[in-house]
């Protein structure tokens, strides 16, 4: 477990003394806690003077725990699921014993929990050892002491444990915002594949997996939104702002909390739009297939209607009677052929007047005949 002492102008690492100013950040990985949960909890109690409850200790190391917020009289706890940027790129989905790869972009929706404990003047984080967000935050804090004196544009250090937690949460949500463009491009490819008339769409299992992943993202954002909303309500109800009572610190925390909630809302709305767009593409695909089937049936019906009277005439003159009109007439054959062609022309004119034959279909058939 690493302990950061964050003061007004500098950050020190592994300083276990209770600070007279500033606050502590206790950063630990899931593996370190699960190795000896009781020893870790005793160490946190020794440093902060606060005892963590058994249920919250189990929640902190539960890798499948959803995002949520809980508070006691001694501390507050926030569990937030972040993107696992180091997930296995060969992630597969197994259904009915068959493993199928989902699209590369949707593979990035693998998440892992990060637990935050707000304990007085300390923040305790329990996270994965591969959490890039936490590692980047640690690096920025440690580099701050080298830039504080030389740079006039250095980033302001967090003023409180709540401020640090909200900054980390904002960085985690921004990872979801960065996925909006790749997800949109992936869904655009699905839509083009669904509506491409040149080749039939057959990858229905991958499409179903994509819809499932988008639905997971929807539920994930809803849980995150609810957890942060409860945190915001808790800050409004219990936080006294600052020592002089002017409420400036409380207002800053509410601004940061509202900003994180707004970012989560944008991701949630985008996920729902993508899901609705994919659903619309599927419906348009089946509508186009039904329309194409209808066009084929209409063409076959017209062809059948054209040949039915011709078949009747040929059937009549094919009967085995000794005496039939026009059989012995020298021009009888050409008369019958003329009658048959006239009937075809009349039927085509009738079908055209009833709009059974579209102009576009006729032009396409003419182009095909010309090509031949």
- Residue that is last in its domain, among 226, 255, 288: 288
Residue 61 and residue 37 in contact, taking contact as beta carbons nearer than 8 Å:
yes
322 and 367 part of one domain: yes
62 and 201 part of one domain: yes
Q: Given pLDDT bands bounded at 50, 70 and 90, which one contains residue 370? A: very low
- Give the single-character DSSP code of 156: P
* pLDDT tens-place string over residues 258-308: 888 888 888 888 888 887 877 777 787 778 778 778 878 888 888 888 888
* pLDDT tens-place string over residues 145-172: 544 444 444 467 888 888 888 888 888 8
**How far apart, in whole angstroms, are the C-alpha atoms of residue 26 and residue 13?**
10
pLDDT at 365: 43
**How far apart, in whole angstroms, are the C-alpha atoms of residue 92 and residue 161?**
39
* pLDDT tens-place string over residues 9-49: 777 777 655 556 778 888 888 888 888 889 888 888 888 88
20 and 90 part of one domain: yes
For residues 17 and 320, which has the higher predicted lDDT (pLDDT)? 320
- Residue that is last in its domain, among 288, 308, 340: 288
Q: Kindly report the pTM of this predicted structure.
A: 0.68
Residue 4 and residue 11 in contact, taking contact as beta carbons nearer than 8 Å:
yes
278 and 257 part of one domain: yes
- Residue that is last in its domain, among 238, 263, 288: 288
Number of neighbours of residue 173 by Cβ within 10 angstroms: 25
Is the pLDDT confidence value at 89 over 70? no
Tokens of 232: 């915001």
160 and 205 part of one domain: yes
Beta-ladder partners of 13: 4
**Would you call 30 exposed, middle or buried from its count of C-beta atoms within 10 A (0-12, 13-18, 19+)?**
buried
Tokens of 205: 């299992």
* pLDDT tens-place string over residues 192-226: 777 777 777 777 777 777 777 778 888 888 888 88
Per the structure, the complete domain to which residue 60 belongs is given by 2-288
How many domains, the chain?
A: 2
CATH code: domain of residue 68: 3.30.460.20
pLDDT-above-90 percentage for the chain:
1
152 and 45 part of one domain: yes
User: Among 179, 213, 164, which Cα is nearest to 83's?
Assistant: 179
**How far apart, in whole angstroms, are the C-alpha atoms of residue 162 and residue 119?**
10
For 36-45, letters b (16+ CB in 10 Å) and e give: ebeebbebbe
pLDDT at 131: 82
206 and 330 part of one domain: no
73 and 150 part of one domain: yes
pLDDT at 86: 53
pLDDT at 116: 92
CATH code: domain of residue 362: 1.20.58.340
Q: How far is CA 252 from the centre of its chain?
A: 31
209 and 268 part of one domain: yes
For residues 366 and 271, which has the higher predicted lDDT (pLDDT)? 271
Is the pLDDT confidence value at 135 over 50? yes
347 and 244 part of one domain: no
45 and 157 part of one domain: yes
Q: Determine the average pLDDT of the residues in 111-139.
A: 86
Is the pLDDT confidence value at 358 over 50? yes
In whole numbers, what is the pLDDT of the chain averaged over residues? 77
Q: Given pLDDT bands bounded at 50, 70 and 90, which one contains residue 243? A: very low
Q: Given pLDDT bands bounded at 50, 70 and 90, which one contains residue 357? A: low
103 and 155 part of one domain: yes
Tokens of 23: 């606050």
Continuous segment of H or E residues that includes residue 27 = strand 23-29
């Amino acid at each position: 477990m690493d302990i950061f002492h964050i003061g007004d102008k500098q950050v020190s690492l592994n300083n276990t003394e209770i600070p007279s100013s500033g606050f502590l950040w206790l950063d630990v990985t899931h593996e370190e806690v699960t190795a000896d949960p009781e020893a870790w909890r005793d160490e946190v109690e020794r440093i902060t003077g606060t005892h963590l409850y058994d249920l919250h200790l189990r929640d902190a190391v539960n890798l499948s725990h959803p995002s949520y917020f809980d508070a006691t009289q001694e501390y507050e706890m926030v569990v937030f699921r972040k993107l696992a940027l180091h997930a296995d790129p060969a992630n597969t989905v197994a259904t009915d014993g068959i493993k199928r790869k989902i699209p590369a972009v949707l593979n990035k929706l693998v998440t892992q929990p990060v637990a935050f404990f707000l304990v007085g003047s300390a923040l305790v984080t329990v996270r994965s050892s591969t959490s890039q967000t936490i590692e980047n935050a640690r690096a920025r804090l440690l580099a701050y002491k080298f830039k504080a004196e030389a740079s006039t544009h250095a980033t302001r250090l967090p003023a409180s444990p709540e401020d640090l937690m909200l900054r980390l949460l904002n960085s985690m949500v921004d990872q979801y915002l960065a996925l909006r463009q790749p997800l949109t491009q992936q869904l655009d490819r699905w839509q083009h594949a669904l509506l491409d008339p040149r080749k039939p769409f057959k990858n229905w299992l991958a499409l179903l997996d994509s819809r499932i992943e988008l639905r997971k993202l929807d539920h994930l954002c809803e849980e995150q939104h609810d957890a942060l909303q409860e945190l915001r309500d808790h800050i409004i109800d219990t936080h006294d702002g600052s020592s002089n009572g002017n409420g400036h610190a409380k207002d800053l925390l509410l601004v940061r909390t509202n900003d994180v909630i707004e970012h989560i809302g944008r991701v949630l709305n985008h996920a729902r739009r993508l899901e609705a767009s994919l659903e619309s593409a599927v419906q348009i695909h089946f509508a186009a297939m039904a329309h194409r089937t209808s066009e084929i049936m209409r063409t076959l019906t017209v062809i059948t209607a054209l040949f039915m009277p011709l078949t009747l005439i040929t059937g009549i003159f094919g009967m085995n009677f000794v005496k039939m009109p026009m059989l012995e007439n020298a021009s009888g054959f050409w008369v019958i052929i003329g009658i048959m062609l006239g009937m075809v022309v009349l039927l085509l004119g009738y079908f055209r007047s009833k709009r059974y034959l579209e102009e576009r279909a006729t032009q396409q058939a003419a182009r095909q005949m010309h090509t031949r």
